[in-house]
Amino acid sequence: MHQDLRLTKSHRMRSLLAAALVASVAMSLASCSNPEQAESPGTSGGDPKIGGSIVFGVNDESTGWMPATDRWGPGPINMARSMLDPLVVIGDDGQLHPWLAESFTPQDGNKTWLIAIRKGITFTNGEPVDGHAVVYNLQTYKSSALTVFAYKPVINIEKADDYTVKVTLDQPWGNFPTLFTGQAGFMVAPEQLRNKDNSKPIGSGPFVFQSWKRDSELVVVKNKSYWRKDAQGRQLPYLDQVKFKPTPDETSRTAALAAGDIDMMHSDSARGVSRLIRGQVPEHQKVLIDESQGDEMNVIFNTQTGPTKDEGLRKALQYATDTSAVAAQYDQAYEPADGPFTQKSQWWAASGQQPTSDLDKARQLVGDYQRDNPGPVKLTLTTIANPDGLETAQLLQSQWSAAGIQVDINSQEVTKFSGTLVGGDFQALVFAYWNGEDPDINYTFWSGANIGAEGSIGLNFPRWTNPEVDAALNAGRAEIDPAKRKEAYATVWKQWAEHAPFIWLYHNKWAIVHRDNVYGIDDVNLPDGKGKAQPITWGTVNLSNTWVHRS
């Protein structure tokens, strides 16, 4: 039976930050306009102008350009997407669509999948994008310390014919193509894999690598032999050149855009994006807000060791938390969360986590905890040392102290924080994560199989599960019927609310801010001509259809 790839909603890889976190494991072991009234960057400006260049300010740099081994966050993913093509993408309908792949066909009760590759596509060194190249890439992902966890169910990868790859799994996986929705789905040329060269990427994307000065600038130029055309049959890409400028400091990126030193930037600053959502867009700029399933700001408790091992104390903290007030600090720009999906998602179901605090109940549970643990109740809350994390941590500190819990805040730079997270060296953390259109994308991080022993690496960050959760996650992975999958995942959300390994705070958003002469960012057509790609995926965009009007 052939199965169309349009299975169910699903981004964002694995999460992409997921890649950054797992890499950590491997290495340590003016006047304003309303954006809703502004012209769409994809449909305004008339016919595309061919040629020209843009400068894109991104928030972080990569360790290199080998997707199976290098740590990529949103900045590097933006750069990689200009040079490398993935097997699948998310459409603006929230569903998976083939890109380099032409179709995915399940067999043997979804334990075997055939991946048909589009014919006639070549990497920029002339090598074909064929069964051999895809097998080589997937086998590399399977053996890499960075991506091995995501590929854990894969037991065999082989070429069925010149343009078909056969993947065998150790369990039914009805949504198997979600594996390729991010970093673990990009294809590079066999030459790059043979040479293990992470400094000069060879892809099949709209642009070709020209030069890279780490922490300064990546330059890509038009791929004149690119395989895709726009919806009117014009050759892509439109631009001749793109320069990416890694600029970690949000204020510096914003100033560079205002000065005209860059043409576009991305941002997930809750304070900054909330202003853009409210219409505070600087003159001569436009904004594209990410309306997909983005990150969730949340609290994670270590349930394996320390004070938060006690479920009663975790419940006390949950009852002490006013998630509506946490979200309200950004002027109602964000939806309070009770789980990892917004209410517009097909995967949302009421979890039972209360949106406001119940201090009487919280104090009662703190008192119960103190009967077995005499003395003051003390807790360390760890956060990334950025404004969003610190603001939220300070508000939680105030809310929890009202329940009689002493909270110290420990802020860490992101690399150290990643190690703290996967190493379990924390009591409670607050940060934004869990982007993904489909719950199965985060299976690796929710499964009990990845808890890890005390003091060792664990990708199940709270180090918590129970039989109901694992059974529901496995059912959601194996099943295709959306209604049955939703029922399975609703069990997970309710178990989390009942046992409190997480406290869900609010649903965060990304934004692309650009000069008002830049167009086409949200106008990326799918290869089969049936719709468009999702405009923004975890702060990343496809620049193949972007063009610029220079006066």
The rounded distance, in Å, linking the Cα atoms of 176 and 486 is 17
CA distance 435 to 294: 5
The span from the CA of 180 to the CA of 88, in Å, is 6
Average pLDDT score over residue span 343-353: 96
- Choose among 337, 129, 104: nearest CA to 227: 129
H or E element in which residue 267 lies: strand 264-267
Counted residue by residue, the chain has a size of 551
How far is residue 284's CA from residue 438's CA, in Å, rounded to a whole number? 36
Q: Tell me the C-alpha distance between 222 and 493, whole Å.
A: 46
Which element (helix H / strand E) includes 114?
Answer: strand 112-117
Domains of the chain from N-terminus onward: 16-29+32-291+510-548 (3.40.190.10), 296-507 (3.10.105.10)
| Contact of 538 with 16, CB cutoff 8 Å | yes
pLDDT of residue 116: 98
pLDDT: is 352 or 551 the higher one? 352
- Cα dihedral across residues 353, 354, 355, 360: positive or negative: negative
The answer to whether residue 28 scores a pLDDT higher than 50 is no
By C-alpha distance, which of 358, 539, 350 is closest to 432? 539
pLDDT digit string, tens, across residues 178-220: 999 889 999 999 999 999 999 999 999 999 999 999 999 999 9
Q: What is the pLDDT of residue 232?
A: 92
pTM comes to: 0.88
d(CA 129, CA 514): 33
Tell me the CB-side half-sphere exposure of residue 511, using CA atoms within 13 A.
Answer: 27
Check residue 45 and give its pLDDT: 62
For residues 135 and 381, give the distance between their C-alpha atoms in angstroms, rounded to a whole number: 44
Tell me: pLDDT of 5 over 70. no
Helix (H) or strand (E) holding 139: helix 131-143
Higher pLDDT, 35 or 160: 160
pLDDT, residue 44, reads 53
